[in-house]
Structure 1
Amino acid sequence: MLGIFNYKLLEKCGKIHFINQLIPLQRRCLRVSSEKEVNLYFVRHGETHYNVEKRLQGFCDSPLTDKGIEQAKSVGIGLSEIEFKAVYASESQRVVDTARYAIGHRNIPNHY
C-alpha cells in the first residue's frame, strides 16, 4: 500500500503523470517529466515461512519457502521476454531473494 501512496503523491505533485488510469497500478505506463516513458513492474516477494504461519512480518525477515522460490522463478519466466534496464528492491532479504530468483542469469543491473 505504501508504494501506491507514494506514486499517487508524486502524481499530485506533478512529478509523475499516468498515461492510462484504467489499467492496474502494477502495470501502468508512466511519463516522467513529460520527456521519458517508463514501464514499472511491481512484484511482491514470494511466500515466506511467516506467510505459512500466518505471522505478521513487517521489518522482521523470514526466508522464502520452497514454494516462494518457485513463485519467484515463475515470475522471472513470465517476465523473461521483457528487456529491463534495472531492478530495484528493498533491503529486505525476502525481497532481495525474490528479485535474484526472478532475474536468474539475466544480466540486469540491480539496486538492492
Structure 2
Amino acid sequence: MSNITPFPRKQAGGPAQTGFDRIELSRIMDLYGRMVSAGHWRDYAIDLTRDVAIFSAFRRTAERPEFRIEKRPALRHRQGMWALIGEAGAVLRRGHDLAGVLAPVERRLVKLVED
C-alpha cells in the first residue's frame, strides 16, 4: 500500500498523441457516410499514436483497409502532412490540404453513384 505510482507526464518534445481536429474529422466522416450510403464501405477504424493519426476505411471488416487517410504533422513543412494510402500500401496522394488528398476518393464516389 505504500507504493505510489505517478501518472505519466506529457513529454516536452511534442504532443503525447496526434489526432484529428473537429473540422478534419467532420470532413472525413462526411466522405465515409456518403461511401456507406453508396454501399461501398462498411466499417472504419481510427488509430491515434504519437506520430500519426490514421483513419482506415474497410469494404468488409475482415479485410485490409481499402484506403487509409494519414495525418503526420512531422511532414507538415516537407511533403505535406496528409496522405492517402491504397490497399496495397502505395501512397496515392500526398499534400498539405485534406480536400486535395480526398479528391480521388470523392471522384470515385461520383462514378459509383452514376452507375
Structure 2 length as normaliser, TM-score?
A: 0.33
Say which structure is richer in strand: 2
Whichever structure has more helix as a proportion of its residues is 1
Larger RCO (alpha carbons 8 Å, 6+ apart): 1
